[in-house]
Amino acid sequence: MMDEKKPGRDWPEKLLFWFDGHKRDLPWREDKPRNPYHVWISEIMLQQTRTEAVKPYFNSWMEKFPTIHDLAEAEEADVLHQWQGLGYYSRARNIHKAAREMEEKYDSSLPDRKEDILALPGIGGYTAGAILSMAYGQREGAIDGNVLRVYARLYQVEEDILKSRGRKEIEGLVNETLPQRAGDFNEALMDLGAEICIPKNPRCSACPLAGECRAFRNGKEKELPFRTPKKPPKEEQAACGIWIEEGKVLLHKRPGRGMLASMWEFPMVLAETEEEARKGLEQLLHGKAVDFLWHYKHIFTHRIWHMKAYPVEGASVPEGEYRWFTPEEYREIPLAGPHARLAAFVERIVY
């Protein structure tokens, strides 16, 4: 018979006690009281990126843009260049737009009302809850993937947590259990989910809430949370052209809308097959693509690029936004994620 016993009412206090002794040492937690700007930038950076990978980006960002005013005054290209490597460049654009809006409306400060924060570009319910609870001490939840996973196991929620019914069930549980120390509680849930209540093999023997957890008591900790399997990502072949003249490499600026908008890349053609991509590159540059020198598999959320880079002979520059750059120059522009890797490779073998 399934165990119907729910977690005790005091489990949030147990979690906070654990957090007080085990909280992670992170650069965006160093301010006392917490800096709203630091909370905002760190939470956007942490979306779909590992914490350890974010640390150097956060520190570098704060050196470049120490205040919201500095960020608002920056050029978009500088913001995208600073974001380079984190992916999801629309997030960097929204950060920049939000900073400029705060410069005009809120004297370069993050507002402390939920409706005002949610009205800013790129800020949703989770980020708003994080800012309000961690920086302003308000009793607000911040529900991310870690929180969904912890609650799904703790209360044995068997609905799909990414669908409306499952998410609403967990949102209700979060609101019921949120203590006064909401900011610390939200961070404690994040730390627990990141280090102990991890996705595939939770470390239940080290969990301060193991005695409260219904999924653990019923042997379902590895089955939950339930998610409907996603469709496999679309796979594409990418042919990139390496064309260097007088120490400069030819690059192309992507359109201002869509994937990797306004980022710079090597001339590139996408196709279903490797041969189609190579021929498409030759047609684009009106030249001959010789044996490839570099290959790389780049995984986005919904697609995969299988990339090969070819030196191109006898080419001509196509119409559109193409420019020649020296290495010193292209290090200062926003290169689309995998193309930054290609630039580093070209620099090693040519310069």
What superfamily in CATH does domain 11-217 come from?
A: Hypothetical protein; domain 2 (1.10.340.30)
Choose, from 4, 13, 43, 158, the residue flagged as catalytic: 43
pLDDT value at residue 40? 98
pLDDT value at residue 1? 44
pLDDT value at residue 85? 85
Q: What is the pLDDT of residues 214-263, one digit of tens each?
A: 999 999 999 999 988 888 899 999 999 999 999 999 999 999 888 888 89
Question: Is 276 noted as a catalytic residue in this protein?
Answer: no
Q: Report the percentage of the chain scoring pLDDT > 70.
A: 99
Residue 149 has pLDDT above 70, yes or no: yes
What confidence tier does 2 reach under pLDDT thresholds 50, 70, 90? low
Q: What is the pLDDT of residues 29-51, one digit of tens each?
A: 998 889 999 999 999 999 988 99
CATH topology of domain 234-350: Nucleoside Triphosphate Pyrophosphohydrolase (3.90.79)
pLDDT value at residue 3? 61
Identify the top-confidence range among 249-263, 264-278, 333-347.
264-278
Q: What is the pLDDT of residues 306-315, one digit of tens each?
A: 999 999 999 9
What confidence tier does 142 reach under pLDDT thresholds 50, 70, 90? very high
Q: What is the pLDDT of residues 178-215, one digit of tens each?
A: 999 999 999 999 999 999 999 989 999 999 999 999 99
For the chain, the structural domain boundaries read: 11-217, 234-350
Average pLDDT over residues 133-155: 96
What's the rounded Cα separation, in Å, for the pair 40 and 25? 18
Residue 351 has pLDDT above 70, yes or no: no
